[in-house]
């Protein structure tokens, strides 16, 4: 743990994540990203074809599964004494009509599922796996970490306070690409290998706690792998390969299953 403690103290712009135990580059505060999320989420929905959950069974399913996952996460944080970390969360779930195989969650619990991913999830448990995974990216601060890295790369870090104060177009672009919002992604946005593993790990636990069989993750990621097309070799990319991911998910399964209490209908 000593190495971890040193890392915390040597990175002044870092925060310690209480769920993953990892130190993360945080040039933007949680309040800042939650504020941006409110604006960007509203903007995204106003320019997208939102499927109304009135009498649409897919939209109803997205809300139902999302609400269960949110309740599981709230319970998990409560059990760890971390309820205050979700204070700014006002969950919203929307299904958007788009052929993209995508879903994402902005900080503060602003979730979008694209209709294009439903033929791949095929069932509620697999949708729960996807939502667990995407919501973990938000609650584990991955988007904030990625945004901080984007700021360093694109704005040199120096202009940060100015950029945030002005909510410049550049900052908004960095925010949107950090959270996978936009039409040019096509597939679920892969984060770094470490972040993907964290999202798979906690995502499976949250899906299981919400009453969904986490084992649906394996066939789901196999179906995703088939869609993937050409990918760079693993050593050239910081993203996990499909095979690597599926193997790790299988290794995480006993732990996830220990949280699994099927929904009683």
The residue annotated as part of the active site, out of 134, 196, 198, 216, is 134
Nearer to Zn ion, 143 or 211 (CB): 143
Examine the residue annotation and report whether 79 is marked as an active-site residue of this protein.
no
Question: Residues 133, 120, 233, CA angle at the centre, nearest 5°?
Answer: 70
Task: Name the strand (E) or helix (H) holding 50.
Answer: strand 50-51
Q: Report the C-alpha dihedral over residues 221, 223, 228, 230, rounded to 10 degrees.
A: 110
Binding-residue total with Zn ion (CB under 5 A): 3
Instruction: Give the residues across from 16 on adjacent strands.
Output: 23
Q: Is position 95 an interface residue for Zn ion (rule: CB under 5 A)?
A: no
Cα 170 to Cα 244: distance, rounded to the nearest angstrom? 34
CB 221, min distance to Zn ion, A = 11
Q: Is position 199 an interface residue for Zn ion (rule: CB under 5 A)?
A: yes
Gyration radius of the chain over CA positions: 18
CB 246, min distance to Zn ion, A = 14
DSSP result, 69-97 = HHHHHHHHHHHTT-GGGGTT---EEEEE-
Residue nearest to Zn ion (CB): 199
Q: Is position 120 an interface residue for Zn ion (rule: CB under 5 A)?
A: no
DSSP result, 93-150 = EEEE--SSB-EEEETTTEEEEEGGGHHHH-SHHHHHHHHHHHHHHHHTTHHHHHHHHH
Q: Which residues in the 33-52 window bind Zn ion by CB under 5 A? A: none
CB 188, min distance to Zn ion, A = 6
Q: Is position 73 an interface residue for Zn ion (rule: CB under 5 A)?
A: no
Nearer to Zn ion, 40 or 196 (CB): 196
Return the range that interacts with Zn ion (CB under 5 A); candidates 32-40, 165-173, 185-193, 246-254.
185-193
Q: Could you give phi then psi for residue 23, rounded to 5 degrees?
A: -85, 135
CB 180, min distance to Zn ion, A = 8
Q: Is position 135 an interface residue for Zn ion (rule: CB under 5 A)?
A: no
Q: Is position 224 an interface residue for Zn ion (rule: CB under 5 A)?
A: no
Return the range that interacts with Zn ion (CB under 5 A); candidates 108-116, 148-156, 188-196, 224-232.
188-196
3 state SS of 187: strand
CB 133, min distance to Zn ion, A = 6
> Catalytic residue numbers?
134
List interacting residues with Zn ion (CB under 5 A). Answer: 191, 196, 199
């Amino acid at each position: 743990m000593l190495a971890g403690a040193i890392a915390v103290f040597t990175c002044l712009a870092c925060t310690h994540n209480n769920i993953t135990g990892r130190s993360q580059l945080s040039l933007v505060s949680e309040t800042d990203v939650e504020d941006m999320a409110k604006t960007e989420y509203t903007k995204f929905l106003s320019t997208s074809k939102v499927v109304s959950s009135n009498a649409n069974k897919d939209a109803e399913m997205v809300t139902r599964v999302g609400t269960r996952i949110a309740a599981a996460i709230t319970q998990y944080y409560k059990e760890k004494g971390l309820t205050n970390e979700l204070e700014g969360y006002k969950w919203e779930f929307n299904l958007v009509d788009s052929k993209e195989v995508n879903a994402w969650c902005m900080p503060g619990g602003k979730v979008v599922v694209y209709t294009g991913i439903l033929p791949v999830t095929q069932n509620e448990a697999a949708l729960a796996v996807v939502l667990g995974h995407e919501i973990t990216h938000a609650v584990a601060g991955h988007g904030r970490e990625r945004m901080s890295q984007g700021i360093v790369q694109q704005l040199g870090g120096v202009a940060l306070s100015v950029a945030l104060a002005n909510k410049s177009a550049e900052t908004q672009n960095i925010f949107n690409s950090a959270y996978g919002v936009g039409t040019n992604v096509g597939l679920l946005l892969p984060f770094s290998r470490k972040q993907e593993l964290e999202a798979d790990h906690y995502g499976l636990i949250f899906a299981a706690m919400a009453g969904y069989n986490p084992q649906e993750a394996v066939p789901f990621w196999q179906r995703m792998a088939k869609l993937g097309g050409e990918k760079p070799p693993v050593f050239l990319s910081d993203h996990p390969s499909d095979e690597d991911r599926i193997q790790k998910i299988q290794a995480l399964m006993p732990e996830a299953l220990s949280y699994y209490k099927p929904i009683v209908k």
